Amino acid sequence: MPTGVAMHDARRQLFSAAEQILVRDGANGLTSRAVTAEAGCAKGVLHRHFDDFDDFLAELVLDRIGRIGTQGAALREAAGSGAVADHLTHALRELFGPVAVAIVGLVISRDALRSRLRRTTPQGIPLLMQATAMLATYLAAERDLGRIAPDADVDALAPTLIGAGHLLFADRQGPAPDAEAVRRTVLTVIAGAVRQPPGR
């Protein structure tokens, strides 16, 4: 690929290429050469935008974490309307799409990447920790509105939902669970906390 070919929004194209490789080939298939080849650009493009490949991977994860912020804002807006179980089911299905599941696997498999991400996520697994905080914030909002029991421990419910959700979606080779399977899990986790009828 000629080095003079301009790339519109090179960072976004490189991130998109990396996500495609992760979903298709897993963390082992993700190399700088594979990313630039997938993006259709010269090898040097990645290193013009990032200090090194681990820096690129850290920014890739942070980009995905940023999307959780957008999802969390929409989830908070939904508090007080519809069914709590439905909102949580939708949130987990959106959160654990193929790219996010692959990125969690990437973070777990690369020590150097986790070390870099400790700057923004001092504890736990990056992306899963932010997702847990998103659900805890939503559940707290529902608790404030009286739709979750006042003594409900949202800081325990949220990681339980994330852990159960991750287990449901973690098998990259099998089919993703359908909405009803995710909803059954959600209902089991929140059964003792939700005040509204489960289907409302």
CATH fold of 60-190: Tetracycline Repressor; domain 2 (1.10.357)
Give residue-wise pLDDT tens across range 114-171.
999 998 888 899 999 999 999 999 999 999 999 999 999 999 999 999 999 999 998 8
**In the CATH hierarchy, which fold is given to the domain comprising 1-49?**
Arc Repressor Mutant, subunit A (1.10.10)
Question: pLDDT under 50 in the chain at which residues?
Answer: 1-6, 198-200
127 vs 62: CA distance, rounded Å: 8
**41-60 burial: b if 16+ Cβ within 10 Å, else e:** bbeebbeeebeebeebbbbb
Closest C-alpha to 162, from 57, 66, 92? 92
pTM (2 decimals)?
0.88
Domain boundaries, the chain: 1-49, 60-190
